[in-house]
A and B are shown apart, each in its own frame.
Chain A
Amino acid sequence: MTITEDKILELLKEVKDPEIPVISLVDLGVITGIKIDGDHVTVNMTPTFIGCPAMDYMKNDVIEVLNKHDITNHTVNLNLDTTWSSDMISDEGKRALKKFGLAPPPVHNNVIEDLDIIEHAECPNCDSTNTTLKSPFGPTLCRSLHHCNNCGEAFESFKPI
């Protein structure tokens, strides 16, 4: 098998976020680069939130998947060379989040001035924007809490960052 960057990316689609198991690390945007040098593979990753306890699990899962596919000559780096932004979540990733019941983050192009940006998150259940922000902090660091005034459901959103 010839190892290519695309091939590695394809393999890494198997690795899901341990806390949101419907989205792959590739679609989440935390895989920031793959380098192939002969038969040596380097995978670079960046944390979503610096205090996210899932990051070590993610790194170990990446190593496991590479090993499982007989790619044993590898280096997996978790560093801040690329600053993660929620704009790096792919369209496929956003669809997966919504299906999971998590409102995907709005595209912000690095302009987040105040909480207005998440004040009226789109309800993943009924698509209404007649919603209220309950708290910018949710059950994990990357989520906020909302209430939908249209369908009456409480829901969570993946925070724009």
Chain B
Amino acid sequence: MTEEALKDLLYKIADDLLILGHRNSEWTGVGPLLEEDIAFSSMAQDKVGQSLAFYQLLHQLGEQDPDTVAFTRNAEQFHNSQFVELPIGEYDFSLIRHFLFDHADYIRFSMLAECPIEEVAKVARKLKGEIKYHVMHANTWIKQLATANEEAHDRLQKSLEKALPYALGMFEPSKFEKEIVEAGVYPGEAEIEKQWKENIAIVLEEAGLKLPDWNSIEAVYGGRYGKHTEHLQPLVEEMSEVFRVDPTADW
């Protein structure tokens, strides 16, 4: 497998985590209740920290240092799925996104924990334990709210339907998909997608939420190769504002 293929894989993972971490942090101070305010803030901190671990791996492969990579690129240079850059919306949307994203990332890291590239496997093993709490948190709230009352149920159902086309974009195949899978790095996006569909279906059924027919949903691709919504550039500018004031500052 070429180094280019590995970098492609690491960039999309890192960028998803960085961007969703920043989105999650937008709940700090305005969460619907104190515990959720803290939960989204903690998950934001986890995700930004986790993205750093992947930017460090990229740095070891010759890419620029993590701060430069995270804070000096423009939107079209990011490899995140469009799913994670969408605005936080109402709490129901953020919760659904958190649920759909973390289930996928848990599978991704469980697979990468077995990766023959030991440096990648070590990070994945570590993250798996942390993401587990994100998944458990999402499952608890999805079940609790979806069975609470009609309004909560309907809101979650609508957010689920809105989120799914974008969520499928998480599994956009890499240009190097065949190469990566043949090298045994991990079983690939299609395999994550398959397991993800099974896992989320179990929780959604318990919650009484309906999954539409998968064939009726068209995945929103493009994010992995620089095609983003109008929401990403303003987010990138906001999160890099302090860094750009003085890129040489030592914190």
List residues of A whose CB falls within 8 A of some B CB: 47, 49-53, 79-81, 83-85, 112, 114-115, 134-139, 141, 145, 159, 161
- Contacts A83-B125, A135-B35, A145-B35 given; does A49 touch B46 at CB 8 Å: yes
B38→A50 contact, CB < 8 A? no
Pick 28 A–B contacts, CB within 8 A, sort by A.
A47-B126, A49-B130, A50-B50, A50-B130, A51-B47, A51-B48, A51-B49, A52-B49, A80-B123, A80-B125, A81-B122, A112-B129, A112-B132, A114-B136, A114-B139, A115-B136, A115-B137, A135-B36, A136-B39, A136-B136, A137-B39, A137-B41, A137-B42, A141-B42, A141-B46, A145-B35, A145-B38, A161-B129
- Contacts A50-B130, A51-B50 given; does A137 touch B38 at CB 8 Å: yes
- In the assembled complex, the Cα of A97 lies from the Cα of B66 at a distance in Å of 34
A159→B133 contact, CB < 8 A? yes
- In the assembled complex, the Cα of A46 lies from the Cα of B42 at a distance in Å of 20
Q: Is B75 an interface residue, CB under 8 A from the partner?
A: no
- The interface centre, meaning the residue of A47, A114, A135, A161 with most chain B CB atoms within 10 A of its CB, is A135
Contacts of A80 in B (CB 8 A): 53, 122-123, 125-126
Interface size on B, residues (CB 8 A): 28
Closest to A85 in B: B129
List residues of B whose CB falls within 8 A of some A CB: 35-36, 38-39, 41-43, 45-50, 52-53, 122-123, 125-127, 129-130, 132-133, 136-137, 139-140
Closest to A159 in B: B133
Contacts of A84 in B (CB 8 A): 126
- The interface centre, meaning the residue of A84, A134, A137, A145 with most chain B CB atoms within 10 A of its CB, is A137
Majority secondary structure of chain B interface residues (helix, strand, loop or mixed): helix
B136→A135 contact, CB < 8 A? no
CB distance from B44 to the nearest CB of A (A): 9
- Contacts A115-B140, A135-B38, A138-B38 given; does A50 touch B127 at CB 8 Å: yes
Q: Other than the known A47-B126, A115-B140, A159-B133, what 19 A-B pairs have Cβ atoms closer than 8 Å?
A: A50-B46, A50-B52, A50-B127, A53-B45, A79-B122, A83-B125, A83-B126, A83-B129, A84-B126, A115-B137, A135-B36, A135-B38, A136-B137, A137-B38, A138-B38, A138-B42, A139-B38, A141-B45, A161-B132
CB distance from B136 to the nearest CB of A (A): 5
Contacts of A112 in B (CB 8 A): 129, 132
- Contacts A80-B126, A83-B122, A115-B136 given; does A135 touch B39 at CB 8 Å: yes
CB distance from A55 to the nearest CB of B (A): 9
CB distance from B137 to the nearest CB of A (A): 5
Top 5 A-B residue pairs of the complex, sorted by shortest distance between their CB atoms:
A51-B49, A135-B35, A137-B42, A137-B39, A80-B122
